[in-house]
Amino acid sequence: MRTFDEFESETCFLCGSAEDLCGEHKVKRSLIKAHALGDKTEFHSSMNARPLLAQSPKSKVFHFKSRICRTCNSSRTQPADLAFDEFHQRLHRFWSDVKTSALNEAPAHQVVEEVGGVPLDVFRYFAKLLCGLLADVGGPRPILIADFAMGLSDENHIKLKISDLRKRRVNLPLPVANSGGLRCWVDGDELLVRTFEGSLSAGFIDYDYWVRLKAHASRELATGFPAFTERCRRGGLYDSS
Ligand SMILES: [Zn+2]
């Protein structure tokens, strides 16, 4: 069974359809609205020396360059979009309130458990983002990740690390939103691509998400997509913003 499919630029980055394409948010408008102060919203990318300043939540800096079809955008991914929205707001509210409680010094995963853990649909949301980041840099379509993002399978390969940016030594004030682009990690004697990783922050919460490829998938990438693999080997880091 194949892990990757060729990605054509004028097709949906989830299902591969060429029909009825539309834009997709890299950072949800609801998140920006929830955390924005005033009209000008800041969007930081870890690869940009200077942050990109968006004039409004509709700005193109909050969108993927690649497109998605309307079916994927609506019925297939809306439950995951809503689940992430709901989860993020709940966690942000809860975490804001624990400042004075015993949970203040608790590790992030314990705080996340207190709000009921991470629903599967939230992982689906990050699976979609990862497909978009890969498409934006001309990478292949990861079939299993895309199927999971579309709700066609319950097989989750996405790992997620949630952290509180207030506990890191970061410059304040925090940006409204930060999407770090795609990072890929290469290892072993054969220099195989082993991990694709993305990050998203909104307010003081940072979401680091990644997929670790199995050995056969790394080999399939190396033989089926040699040019892309070579780019990963040379740079390891891509910015899609
Ligand atoms: Zn689609």
pLDDT digits (tens, 9 = 90+) for 48-59: 556 667 777 777
**In sequence order, what are the residues at sequence separation of 6 or more whose Cβ sits closer than 8 angstroms to the Cβ of residue 103?**
110, 111, 114
| Bond into 173 cis (ω within 30) | yes
pLDDT level of residue 182 (50, 70, 90 thresholds): confident
C-alpha 76 to ligand 1 mean position (Å): 8
In degrees rounded to 5, what are phi and psi of residue 86? -65, -45
Residue 48 lies in a domain: no
How many structural domains does the chain have?
Answer: 1
Identify the domain containing residue 201 by its residue range.
4-33+63-98+106-238
Contact 123, 156 (CB under 8 A): yes
Distance between Cα 71 and ligand 1 center (Å):
6
As a whole number of angstroms, the distance between CA 142 and CA 144 comes to: 6
Give whole-number Cα distances, 82 to 37, 63, 236, in Å.
23, 18, 32
pLDDT higher than 60, residue 36: yes
- Residue 56 belongs to some domain of the structure: no
Give pairs for 191-197: CB < 8 Å, separation 24+. 191/233, 192/218, 192/219, 192/221, 192/222, 192/229, 193/218, 193/221, 193/222, 193/229, 193/232, 193/233, 194/218, 196/130, 196/133, 196/134, 196/142
Whether residue 55 lies inside any domain: the answer is no
Answer for the pair 185, 195: CB distance below 8 angstroms, yes or no.
yes
Tell me the average pLDDT across 23-46: 72
Q: Does 221 fall in a domain? A: yes
pLDDT in tens, 72-107: 999 999 999 999 999 999 999 988 887 656 666 788
Residue 24 burial by Cβ neighbours in a 10 Å radius (0-12, 13-18, 19+): buried
177-179 and 52-54 as β-strands: parallel, antiparallel, unpaired?
A: unpaired
Task: Judge contact between 54 and 27, C-beta under 8 A.
Answer: no
Q: What is the pLDDT of residue 188?
A: 77
Residue 119 falls within a domain, yes or no? Answer: yes
Rg, C-alpha atoms of the chain: 18
Q: 10 Å Cβ neighbour count for 130?
A: 23
The confidence score (pLDDT) of residue 239 equals 47
Q: Report the alpha-carbon distance of residue 130 to residue 87 in Å, rounded.
A: 19
- The CA 11 to ligand 1 mean position distance, Å, reads 8
On whether residue 50 sits in a domain, the answer given is no
Q: What pLDDT is recorded for position 240?
A: 43
Residue 232 inside a domain? The answer is yes
pTM of the model: 0.90
From ligand 1's centre to the CA of 65, what distance in Å? 15
Distances (CA, A) of 196 to 97, 133, 151, 190, 193: 33, 9, 21, 17, 8
Is residue 43 in some structural domain?
no
Give residue 135's pLDDT.
94
Mean pLDDT of the chain: 85
pLDDT in tens, 214-225: 999 999 999 999
- The token duo for 58 is 């509709």
Q: Which residue has the higher pLDDT, 236 or 211?
A: 211
Q: Please tell me the distance between residue 1's alpha carbon and the centre of ligand 1 in angstroms.
A: 21
pLDDT tens-place string over residues 114-169 = 899 999 999 999 999 999 999 998 999 999 999 999 999 999 999 999 998 887 75
Compute, in angstroms, the gap from residue 128 CA to the centroid of ligand 1. Answer: 11
d(CA 16, CA 13): 6
